[in-house]
Amino acid sequence: MDLGMKGRVAVVTGGGTGIGKAVAAEFAAEGATTYILGRRQEMLDEAAAEAKDKGVTLIPYALDVLDNAAVEKCVNDIVAAHGRVDIWVNNAGFGYAKMIEDVEEEDWFKTIDTNLKSTFFVTKTVARQMKKQKYGVFINAASMAVYMPLAGNSVYAAAKSGIASFTRTFAAELAPYGIRVLSYSPGMVATAMSKRHIARDYDKLVNTMALHRLGTPEDLAKPIVFFASEAAGYMTGIDIPLAGGRYCSQNNEDMWVKAGADAIVPEKVI
């Protein structure tokens, strides 16, 4: 299916690693002019070089999403170069695990600011340009913590729940201008950041998933690009779990036990 990305300009924050890098590469592979944003120029350059080796072009742009003036300059620079910004993926995020009594004020603000505040103010800035165009798509990174939070990770769950709520309100506010807003909630995805957690709790994690395997960044990239395309043009204001059927029933693991030798053995992802 041709997703109509040729001529589109896509921007992915947190685009130097993990899910963001895979999503950006998929946009570029579909023909979109694609920017990857992040704080560390060297990491962005490495991602762009890796993509180039695979025949894909990514444009690195160093940016701290918490710097509103820098975000505005970034948007202006992209518009000056290409005349528009069509798709913006708010993927930058931060999280940690701490019990409530151990959460310091600094922890609170770093988590809320990186995830929630940045999504609000970046969207506000980019929306001005998209309203002029009468076209745009925002894709926000939420989390399965929106549906079932992890004890010991309260501030992160609160921030991601806020993003899911922003997605609905922004969708309503921006719809009259031809702008759609969606969010996605990944399950446990195998990235450098999650590698230690996965190695420790692999069996426990996969047992919660109907597909009985962890996700990869590439598992998320294709549907996210689809959501941003006009093939999904009637979708807005919702969060889409991309989690392999995590918690779709209370007894996912029982079905694998019942299937026994007839079950397809999933590839182990670490």
Which residue bears the tokens 């969708």? Answer: 171
CA 174, CA 94: separation in Å to the nearest integer?
27
Annotated catalytic, 156? yes
Determine the Cα angle at 32 with ends 31 and 33, to 5°: 120
- In sequence order, what are the residues at sequence separation of 6 or more whose Cβ sits closer than 8 angstroms to the Cβ of residue 267? 213
CA contacts within 13 A on the Cβ side of 9: 17
Exposed, middle or buried, 178 (CB in 10 Å: 0-12/13-18/19+)? Answer: middle
Taking Cα atoms as reference points, which of 149, 158, 214 lies closest to residue 187?
A: 214
Token pair in block for residue 90: 């708010």
DSSP state of 176: G
- In sequence order, what are the residues at sequence separation of 6 or more whose Cβ sits closer than 8 angstroms to the Cβ of residue 260? none
- In sequence order, what are the residues at sequence separation of 6 or more whose Cβ sits closer than 8 angstroms to the Cβ of residue 133? 84, 85, 86, 178
Token pair in block for residue 185: 């909630």
Which residue bears the tokens 């069996």? Answer: 203
DSSP E strands in 120-233: the ranges are 136-141, 179-186
Q: Which of 135, 156, 184, 247 is catalytic?
A: 156
Token pair in block for residue 67: 């710097």
Residues annotated as catalytic (active site), given as ranges: 156
